[in-house]
Amino acid sequence: MKATEEAFLERCIPEPNTGCWLWMGGFARSGYGILVLDGAKHRQLRAHRYSWMLFRGDLPDDLVIRHYVCANKACVNPAHLRHHFTKLTDIQVAEIRARAAAGDRRVDIAASYGITPDYVRELARRLVRVPLLEAVALYDPDAAARLASEEAP
């Protein structure tokens, strides 16, 4: 696990009543948690945006992350976050993976969707944009089990 991931996960505390993952690191004046990257003060990320990147995939510039479930700015539970707006829909991501699996060239796929060939590779290898439960299970099987039971009808 990368140092930044460890630093992030060490600073989250699950709150059993709300399901929020409370951020125990530093905060910006705006009320959002801050994660310092590589120990460098000038390299900072909003903790909830980092959570999104870690569990849900990449974070394009056109993506706005909102606390949809809890409205708690200190919460970094990826299940409580929703994106506002993104370049690729889930359907397009599935199409890209299918084309990559079928052997289409990455440069051709990239050109069709206006993304980079590197990003096509990351999507195809499921390094980004993996379903939430799958991603959470990698880090916290108990949390994944709780989420699965919450989502069941």
Complex with Zn ion: residue 9 or 110, whichever CB lies closer: 9
What lies within 8 Å, CB to CB, of 120 at 6+ separation is 96, 100, 106, 109, 110, 113
Identify the CA nearest to 20 among candidates 85, 62, 72.
72
Binding test (CB under 5 A) with Zn ion, winner from 12, 20, 115, 135: 20
Complex with Zn ion: residue 51 or 77, whichever CB lies closer: 77
- Candidates 31-39, 62-70, 88-96, 134-142; binding stretch for Zn ion (CB under 5 A): 62-70
Smallest gap from Cβ 139 to Zn ion, in A, equals: 17
Alpha-carbon distance of 94 to 36, in angstroms, equals 33
Alpha-carbon distance of 107 to 33, in angstroms, equals 37
Complex with Zn ion: residue 70 or 93, whichever CB lies closer: 70
Binding test (CB under 5 A) with Zn ion, winner from 80, 99, 106, 129: 80
Q: How many helices (H) and strands (E) does the chain have?
A: 7, 7
Smallest gap from Cβ 21 to Zn ion, in A, equals: 7
Question: Contacts with Zn ion: how many residues (CB under 5 A)?
Answer: 6
25 burial type by CB count under 10 A (0-12 exposed, 13-18 middle, 19+ buried): middle
- Candidates 56-64, 67-75, 101-109, 120-128; binding stretch for Zn ion (CB under 5 A): 67-75
Residues that bind Zn ion (CB under 5 A): 20, 70, 72, 75, 77, 80
